[in-house]
Structures are given as structure tokens and as C-alpha cells.
């Protein structure tokens, strides 16, 4: 801003004009005192620029500079925060987690035809490429016919394997390091004829095999459940599973109960039956829903049925007929979906199927599968992959039926990938688990 002061000579004859002139001079004086006195600088040399500077009132200068300084400081702070976030993002952004599918098997000798040995095959859950294998005979010189059951710890570090012997020797439970393939501990003496399951519970702290509860860390026994309870499945995050009661009482025999393996408490009761009232006189498998209130089961009554029962009221909430029995049930972690295998065979009901049940709407969808699997696909084992929108399925050992390991996209309801197992003509499969790559 340029201010110019010039003297005003009084003209005219009245004092009023002189007064106005004096007041004008005082007004200009006060304005200069408030805003600064203009000091013209000499004309700069060539290449310079014309400037007018002010001898500022310091307080006023700082007050005027405040908004500018705040703006500059704000911009600098924003740039600093962005740079910091970018650096943190690069430093802390987690890497994508890879998952493995572990599949147990028995590999018959191609030379003698009468000897066999156990293996665990490791597949990439996305590509289904075979990335590793573990020979059980490297852990124990006693010939191991096959892996009956296996489970994976939630962090993917440990494998719990129930391996049957080729001879009349009780099965052995192993804890294996998934990284080194070495045994951490083993517990022999399991009756393989009972078709025991291996369950990881309490987020990996507890292990349930049949009626025995172990500490997963060292294999020590926590408690032994009554042998009248045939334990089955429960969410890995909790301590409850469902069990089928084996009783001489017709009213109790076959009833499904919930068992807390940490305390031994038994609760709830559901006798699997159809909505018409007929009871399923044999239940092949049962699984506890994550809410702890419902049970999902597959049983037999003039055909094979999948039912959803309420453990609190004893009512059947849903029923669905299958082609064949001996199927398995998997439940997503969020409890919204269930996948039921229908093994099938050339003699019973044709090729196998997977039935996907929306537990919110109680509707069923059957994913389509490629024609090349039509005569070779026997779905038995099944588990959900991380994200709850994909499942993996494979045959089971006691069928001695050879088939592929497959993944199914439950969004499109189509098979993603299928791979034949190593030397599928000479092996049977048993036990499947999924976990993060260690």
C-alpha cells in the first residue's frame, strides 16, 4: 500500500477551513502511527524491482503474519503426517497370508501290493500345487498304514496326526512341527476301530481325541470324558463339542448332547428326527454350530438326511434329503453357511455332490462341477477355507475310493480347481486340515 501526505494550504477567509485542514493532518498522523511510516527506497539498479517498505509496529506485524504462519505450519504438518503414514504403511503393511491344505494318505507298495506307509501331502490352498510331503515312517520305524485323522493349529505351526498301524498295534497320536517335520511328542494306545476324530479347541490350547482331552503344548491329559459319549465336532475357538450318547436306555441312546471338554459339563439334548416325528436311528456325523445352540447332523431313516436341530428345545429346524450316507458337515466361522458332502458311488446314487446350505434362509444350492469329475468325484471330507466363501473337499480313507482334491467357490457355486493326488491309483486318503503357512 502506498500512502502520500501533502501539506494543505488554508484558503478562504474562515477559520472553519483551517480547522478542517488541521484535523486532516492529525488524521493522517494517527493513521501513520497505527499502520507504519512510509519510507520510499531509492530506485533499484537494473534487474531489481521497485519496493516500498514499512517500518512496522511489531505487534501489528506479528498479528498480520499470524494467519500466514498458521497456514504454512498446517501445510507442513499435513505433509509430515502423510510422509509418516506412508512410511508406516510400508513398514507395517502385513504380507498376504498363504494357507496350506494338509491331506493324509496311505500309499500302497507298487511292488508287493501288501505293504503300505503313511504320508501327509501339503498343498497350496489357492493353486492346489503340491508344495511338500511328510513321511510318517521317518518319524517311527513301525509301519504306519495311513493317517486316520489330522488337525492343524490356528497359527498353522503344529499338526496333530492320528496314524494307524499296518499291524495290530494301537494308533498313535503325533504332534508335528509343520516347519521342521519333526515330532514334538507322541501318545500311543488309541483304538483305531472306533474311528476317532482329532479336534483342536480353545484356539489351539486343547486337543480332543475320542474321550481324552490333552494339553496341546505337552500332550498331558487334562481329563477323560465318559466313554458313553461319542464325541464329534465343535468350533475351534471354544471348548464345546457335540457328542452322541451311547446308552442302554432306548430313550437316551443316540441323543445328541453338548459337552464342554474343559469342565466336563453336559448340556442340551436333541434326538435327531424328521419334522414328521420319525427318529433317525443312526447318526453318522454331527457338528456344533458356533452359537452353541444348534447341531447339524447326517443320519439315516429310509434314506439319508441332513438335519438342523435345536439343542434347547429339541426341535428339528430344517431337513434335507441326500443321495448317500457317510457324508461330512463343515460350518463357516461366521455360522452363516454349511457345506454337506454326499459321497455317492456307482452303486448308490451316482457321483458325489456338495450341498451348500444357507443357514439364514435355509436354502440349498448344489455347485456344478466339471464333466471330467463326473465319474471320479467322491466328496467326503470337507472344510472351509479362510474367508468363508470357499471350501476344499477330498475323498476319505475308509472308502478306498480314489478322487481329486478340489476347491469350490461358494460365490459362483462352481468348482475352482481340482488336482489328482500323487499316484491316486495306489493310495487312499484320510484326514484333512487347513491352516496358515508356518
| C-alpha to C-alpha distances, 227 to 231, 246, 286, nearest whole angstrom | 9, 8, 17
Q: How far apart are CA 280 and CA 178, in angstroms?
A: 40
pLDDT at 85: 59
**According to the model, what pLDDT value does residue 145 have?**
61
Q: Grid cell 497370508 — which residue?
A: 97
Number of neighbouring beta carbons within 10 Å of residue 432: 26
Residues 28, 143: Cα–Cα separation, whole Å: 111
Grid look-up 477567509 returns 13
CA 33 distance to own-chain centroid: 74
If one counts every other C-beta atom within 10 angstroms of the C-beta of residue 48, the result is 9
pLDDT at 186: 92
The three-class DSSP label of residue 298 is strand
Q: DSSP secondary-structure letter at 94? A: P
Beta carbons within 8 Å of 350's beta carbon, 6+ residues apart: 323, 344
Give every CB contact of residue 300 below 8 A, 6+ residues apart in sequence: 280, 281, 282, 284, 325
pLDDT for 96 equals 83
Decide: 368 and 406 in contact? Cβ < 8 Å.
Answer: no
CA-CA distance, 158 to 179, in Å (whole number)? 8
In 3D space, the residue among 354, 357, 359 whose CA is nearest the CA of residue 369 turns out to be 354
Residues 155, 433: Cα–Cα separation, whole Å: 12
Q: What is the pLDDT of residue 42?
A: 44
Contact 375, 351 (CB under 8 A): yes
Total residue length of the chain: 438
What is the C-alpha separation between 208 and 199, in angstroms, rounded?
5
Model pLDDT for residues 34-71, shown as the tens digit of each residue: 444 444 444 444 444 333 333 445 445 444 555 655 66
For residues 165 and 171, give the distance between their C-alpha atoms in angstroms, rounded to a whole number: 6
Beta bridge partners of 147: 163
Work out the burial of residue 80: count CB atoms within 10 Å of its CB; fewer than 13 is exposed, 13-18 middle, 19 or more buried: exposed
pLDDT tens, position by position, for the chain (438 residues)?
433 333 334 444 444 444 444 344 444 444 434 444 444 444 444 444 333 333 445 445 444 555 655 665 666 666 665 555 555 555 566 678 899 999 987 766 544 444 556 789 999 999 999 999 988 877 776 666 667 789 999 999 999 999 877 666 788 899 999 999 999 999 988 887 777 889 999 999 999 999 999 999 999 999 999 989 999 999 999 999 999 999 988 888 999 999 999 999 999 999 999 999 999 988 999 999 999 999 999 999 988 999 999 999 999 999 999 987 778 999 999 999 999 998 766 565 567 789 999 999 999 999 987 777 665 556 788 999 988 899 999 876 544 456 788 999 999 999 999 888 776 555 667 789 999 999
In a 13 Å sphere around the CA of 181, the CA atoms on its Cβ side amount to 14
Q: What is the pLDDT of residues 190-222, one digit of tens each?
A: 887 777 889 999 999 999 999 999 999 999 999
Amino acid at each position: 500500500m502506498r500512502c502520500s501526505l501533502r501539506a494543505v494550504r488554508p484558503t478562504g477567509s474562515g477559520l472553519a477551513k483551517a480547522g478542517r485542514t488541521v484535523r486532516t493532518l492529525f488524521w493522517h498522523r494517527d493513521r501513520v502511527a497505527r499502520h507504519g511510516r512510509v519510507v520510499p527506497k531509492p530506485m533499484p539498479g537494473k534487474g531489481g524491482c521497485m519496493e516500498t517498505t514499512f517500518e512496522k509496529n511489531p505487534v501489528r506485524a506479528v498479528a498480520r503474519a499470524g494467519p500466514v504462519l498458521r497456514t504454512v505450519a498446517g501445510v507442513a504438518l499435513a505433509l509430515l503426517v502423510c510422509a509418516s503414514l506412508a512410511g508406516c504403511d510400508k513398514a507395517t503393511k502385513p504380507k498376504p497370508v498363504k494357507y496350506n491344505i494338509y491331506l493324509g494318505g496311505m500309499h500302497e507298495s507298487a511292488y508287493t501290493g501288501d505293504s503300505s506307509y503313511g504320508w501327509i501331502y501339503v498343498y497350496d490352498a489357492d493353486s492346489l500345487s503340491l508344495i511338500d510331503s511328510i513321511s510318517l515312517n521317518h518319524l517311527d520305524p513301525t509301519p504306519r498304514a495311513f493317517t486316520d485323522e489330522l488337525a492343524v493349529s490356528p497359527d498353522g505351526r503344529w499338526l496333530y496326526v492320528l496314524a494307524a498301524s499296518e499291524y495290530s498295534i494301537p494308533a498313535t497320536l503325533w504332534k508335528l512341527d509343520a516347519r521342521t517335520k519333526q515330532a514334538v511328542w507322541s501318545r500311543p494306545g488309541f483304538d483305531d476301530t472306533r474311528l476317532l476324530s482329532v479336534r483342536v479347541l480353545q484356539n489351539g490350547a486343547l486337543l480332543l481325541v475320542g474321550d481324552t482331552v490333552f494339553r496341546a503344548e505337552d500332550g498331558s491329559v487334562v481329563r477323560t470324558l465318559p466313554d458313553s459319549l461319542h464325541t464329534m465336532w465343535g468350533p475351534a475357538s471354544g471348548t464345546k463339542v457335540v457328542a452322541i450318547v451311547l446308552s442302554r436306555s432306548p430313550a437316551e441312546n443316540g441323543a445328541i448332547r453338548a459337552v464342554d471338554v474343559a469342565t466336563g459339563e453336559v448340556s442340551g439334548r436333541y434326538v435327531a428326527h424328521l419334522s414328521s416325528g420319525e427318529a433317525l436311528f443312526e447318526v453318522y456325523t454331527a457338528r456344533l454350530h458356533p452359537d452353541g445352540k444348534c447341531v447339524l447332523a447326517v443320519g439315516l431313516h429310509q434314506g439319508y438326511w441332513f438335519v438342523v436341530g435345536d439343542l434347547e428345545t429339541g426341535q428339528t429346524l430344517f431337513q434335507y434329503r441326500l443321495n448317500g450316507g457317510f457324508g461330512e458337515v463343515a460350518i463357516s466361522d461366521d455360522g452363516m453357511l454349511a457345506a454337506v458332502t454326499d459321497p455317492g458311488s456307482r452303486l448308490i446314487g451316482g457321483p458325489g455332490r456338495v450341498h451348500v446350505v444357507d443357514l439364514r434362509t435355509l436354502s440349498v444350492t448344489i455347485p456344478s462341477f466339471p464333466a471330467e469329475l463326473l465319474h471320479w468325484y467322491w466328496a467326503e471330507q470337507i472344510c472351509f477355507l479362510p474367508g468363508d466363501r470357499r471350501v476344499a473337499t477330498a475323498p476319505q480313507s475308509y472308502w478306498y475310493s480314489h478322487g481329486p482334491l478340489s476347491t469350490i467357490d461358494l460365490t459362483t457355486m462352481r468348482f475352482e480347481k481340482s488336482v489328482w493326488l500323487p499316484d491316486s491309483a495306489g493310495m487312499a486318503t484320510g484326514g484333512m486340515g487347513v491352516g496358515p503357512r508356518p
